[in-house]
């Protein structure tokens, strides 16, 4: 969009506004990307904590040596039990 400004002070003001608007838009985009990255990291940490919690519960119920490799396979077929 072209704007024909006759007065130099108005032209200077318009350039300053455009420059600031572009910088503000760029800063907003950078902040949005950073926020997205931080939220993804937080979600991943939450998933990891839940997985570790489930694993700890399994250890509690099964005992440290409660499940062996032999328990995982059918002794007759050798297939997973």
Using a cut of 0.85, tell me whether the model's pTM lies above it: no
Task: Output the six-digit token pair for 59.
Answer: 């250890």
Please say whether the beta carbons of 74 and 80 come within 8 A. yes
How confident is the model over 36-74, as pLDDT tens digits?
898 899 999 999 999 988 888 887 777 666 667 777 888
Token output for 54: 């489930």
- Residue pair 73/81 in contact (Cβ under 8 Å)? The answer is yes
């Amino acid at each position: 969009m072209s704007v024909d400004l006759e007065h130099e002070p108005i032209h200077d003001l318009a350039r300053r506004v455009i420059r600031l608007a572009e910088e503000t838009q760029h800063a907003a985009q950078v902040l949005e990307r950073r926020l997205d990255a931080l939220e993804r990291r937080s979600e991943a940490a939450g998933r990891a904590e839940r997985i570790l919690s489930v694993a700890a519960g399994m250890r509690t119920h099964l005992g440290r040596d409660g499940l062996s490799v032999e328990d995982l396979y059918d002794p007759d077929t050798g297939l997973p039990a």
